[in-house]
Amino acid sequence: MALAFDLYNSIGNLWDENDYKAKLLERCLASGLHALPEVQVKVEFKDFCKPYFIDLLIEGAVYELKTVEGITSPNESQTLNYLFLTNTQHGKIINFRPDSLERRFVSTSLTLDQRQSFFLKTDDWIEAQPANLHLPDLLAELLNEWGAYLNIQLYKEAVLFFMEHPSEDANTRFCATSPDTLLHFTGLSRKKASYEKNLQKYLNASEFEQIDWINFDQNEIELSSLRKKLFCH
C-alpha cells in the first residue's frame, strides 16, 4: 500500500515494529481509512479460550507488520491463521527491516463451512487416555467448532487444557500424558513414513511404552499409536 511506502521512505528501516504500527495507523486514519490496531480475536470452546492479536485491520483486511531479515513461511502461516479466524480471504505482511520494503500477499478461498469438512482417521489409535477423555471425540468437537487448517499449536493447547496439563506443556515436543505414554503433534503432509520410523526409534530408546501421535495434514487428521518394540532394526 502507498501509505506503507511513504512511511518507509520518510523514516527508514531502523524503528521497532510497534513504532511502524503506530505511525502507519496514524496515516491510515488521517487518510480516512477505517483502521483498528491490535484487534483481539478469541478462539473459544467450552472453558478453553485463547486470544490472538492482529497488528492492524485496515478496511476489513488483515495486516501483519514485521521488522525481520525476511518474511518467512511461519509469518505467512500466522497471517493465514488470522484470515481463517476472522473469516476473511485477503491479508498482507509488510516487513520494514530490509533495504527495500518487503510485502507478501496472503489469501485463501476456504470458507468456515469448507474447513469444517474434515476426515478423522483413527485406524491405528489405541486409547490410553483417562476414561473421561476420549481424544478422537474431543478433536472432532474442536474441528466441528473451529474447522481444520488452523495453527496446530491451537489444537494442541486445547487438547492439553482439557487433559488438565499445565499450559507450558504445550511448548514441549513430547508431552507425558501418563507414566508410560507420550503425546505428540505434527503437521506433516509428506515423509510421514520416515518420520514414523524415527518416532519408533525415539520410543524404543525411551522409558515410555507408547506414543500417541496426532498429525494434521490440512483437513485430514490422523491419530495413531506406536508401541515400544524391544528389537527394532
pLDDT along the chain (233 residues), means of 10: 95 98 98 97 97 97 97 96 96 97 97 97 81 82 98 96 83 90 94 95 95 96 92 53
Q: Work out the number of other CB atoms within 10 angstroms of the CB of residue 170.
A: 17
Q: Tell me, what's the pLDDT at 129?
A: 58
Q: Tell me, what's the pLDDT at 169?
A: 76
* Calculated CA dihedral for residues 217, 150, 182, 50, nearest 10 degrees: 180
Q: Tell me, what's the pLDDT at 229?
A: 83
Residues 6+ apart with CB under 8 A from 127: 134, 135
Q: Tell me, what's the pLDDT at 112?
A: 96
CA distances from 130 to 3, 13, 27, 75, 80 (A): 55, 53, 54, 36, 34
Q: Tell me, what's the pLDDT at 231?
A: 59
**Distance of alpha carbon 76 from alpha carbon 207, whole angstroms:** 38
List the strands of the sheet with 102-107, edge to edge.
35-45, 48-58, 61-66, 90-95, 102-107
Which residue is it, cell 476426515? 119
Q: Tell me, what's the pLDDT at 165?
A: 84
Q: Tell me, what's the pLDDT at 153?
A: 95
